[in-house]
Amino acid sequence: MDLVKVVTRDLDQTMANRCSPLAAQTISYDSNDIAWSNSNTHWRNMRKILATQVLSNTNLKSCQSFRTDEVRRLVKEVYSKLGTKININEIAFKTEVDVVTSMLWGCSKSGDGNDSSIIGDGFREVEIKIMKLVAAPNISDFFPMLWRFDLQGRQREMQRQLAYVDWIFENIIQGRIEANSRKNDGEAEEDRRKDFVQVLLDLKEEKDAAISLDIIKIKALLLDIVLAATHTTSTMVEWVMTEILNNPGVMRKVQDELTEVIGMNVVQESHLPKLTYLDAVIKETFRVHTPGPLLVHRCPDESCTVGGYTIPKGTIVYMNVWAIHRDPKNWTNPLEFKPQRFLIDKWDYHGNNFKFLPFGSGRRICPGIPLGEKMLMYILASLLHSFDWSLPEDEEFELSDEFGLVTKKRKPLIAIPSQRLSDAGLYIF
């Protein structure tokens, strides 16, 4: 824990590079994104654009209706499957993709150009493949002179995934450019609704080099957001539901709180800050099932010393947050699932308390915390308030995980919903 503090505080600037592996370079359009870029002016500008144009309070507020629509669509879909087996990760992933793509190119969804459904159901499999390829050991990363031969075929496989997502983004962007040129005559600039794709296309025309973007950077940023937001959030929805189904006492308390705060009504985003017990359950799940167990590695731009050891320039440095979250020096009975530990003292996700770092810490901390936190709470509150859940008798229930860039549940959680709210009208919007 003390060493993480040294890396992310005292040496935060020196340690801010990524030195990304070849597979990550390929999928990030040659590190033209945020996550795989080294710490440089490009990275700073892109983070600023993400923070001010997508994740600002004002923008998150103005996109509220997208989230509401998609979460209600989720409730309606689950309602249509009452009494049947549901794969929780699958439905959470689809909802998260729909929310994020609405924010990114929502105006295309309303029919003024392209159709966002282009992203399709196959996207989940592509994303899983991308995550696996980024985390898989590649001999070319260790012996750079071998990269041309691509002995394990990893780059070729990643190129194939990139071709698929690139085709999606080309369609969205070119469709928007054409729609804009058709509209230019009839509509004043200020009358046009702006989503993130539009904001980025406007920056393309910008003369100021600090915020000007080309099409490659636009695509890299879009892919970064879709990849960073969807897999993490849906994985966490699955883990929280797993722990709740494994602890009936926790389920009872969560649902009692939901009834007290919301009554027999539909969950609204305004209810979320009042759900303190659900918040503690989510934080405890983050502790026990940290989705990014080693965060994303860092890399010093000059030799430095950490804990008395010399770390040469360019060394790959991992921070084992998984171990910190389970260290008995930091947590009493760390293997027990006890949400009440997060009801004592004030805990947040901003990486200032080095015992709890699910989103990282320092200058490379996840910039998506406000959206990730909101979506997790909203999806979970809606699933748990609208439905009672049980486990199918013919499926084995277990809690083991599968290590990766994002730690998934090894076997998908399958659960059966039943109606919880007496008024059927609350499920059909």
Residues that bind ligand HEM (CB under 6 A): 34-35, 47, 224-225, 228-229, 232-233, 236, 291-292, 295-296, 358-360, 364-368, 371-372, 376
Q: Which long-range contacts (CB under 8 A, 24 or more apart) does 26-32 make?
A: 26/155, 26/158, 26/159, 26/162, 27/130, 27/133, 27/134, 27/158, 27/161, 27/162, 27/223, 28/220, 28/223, 28/224, 29/162, 29/216, 29/217, 29/219, 29/220, 29/223, 30/216, 32/216, 32/217, 32/220
Q: How many residues does the chain have?
A: 429
Between residues 101 and 427, which has the closer beta carbon with respect to ligand HEM?
A: 101
Find the shortest distance in angstroms from Cβ 378 to ligand HEM.
12
Between residues 64 and 180, which has the closer beta carbon with respect to ligand HEM?
A: 64
Q: How far apart are CA 134 and CA 137, in angstroms?
A: 8
Q: 41-49 and 215-246 helices cross at what angle (nearest 10)?
A: 60
Between residues 109 and 289, which has the closer beta carbon with respect to ligand HEM?
A: 289
Between residues 266 and 325, which has the closer beta carbon with respect to ligand HEM?
A: 325
Find the shortest distance in angstroms from Cβ 226 to ligand HEM.
9
Find the shortest distance in angstroms from Cβ 383 to ligand HEM.
16
Between residues 278 and 376, which has the closer beta carbon with respect to ligand HEM?
A: 376
- The residue sitting closest to ligand HEM, measured at its beta carbon, is 368
Between residues 93 and 427, which has the closer beta carbon with respect to ligand HEM?
A: 93
What residues contact 37, with CB distance under 8 A and at least 6 apart? Answer: 18, 20, 28, 31, 43, 46
Say whether 19 counts as a known binding-site residue. no
Burial of 279 (0-12, 13-18, 19+ CB in 10 A): buried
Q: How far apart are CA 19 and CA 84, in angstroms?
A: 46
Find the shortest distance in angstroms from Cβ 27 to ligand HEM.
13
The token pair at 423 is 């008024």
Between residues 281 and 416, which has the closer beta carbon with respect to ligand HEM?
A: 281
DSSP per-residue letters across 290-334 = -SSTT-S-BB-SS-EEETTEEE-TT--B---HHHHHT-TTTSSST
Sheet holding 387-390, edge to edge: 86-87, 414-419, 387-390
Find the shortest distance in angstroms from Cβ 49 to ligand HEM.
11
Find the shortest distance in angstroms from Cβ 191 to ligand HEM.
28
Find the shortest distance in angstroms from Cβ 361 to ligand HEM.
6
Between residues 133 and 229, which has the closer beta carbon with respect to ligand HEM?
A: 229
Find the shortest distance in angstroms from Cβ 233 to ligand HEM.
5
DSSP per-residue letters across 326-337 = T-TTTSSSTTS-
Distances (CA, A) of 397 to 111, 394, 414: 43, 9, 9
Binding site feature residues: 366
Please give the annotated binding residues for heme, written as ranges. Answer: 366
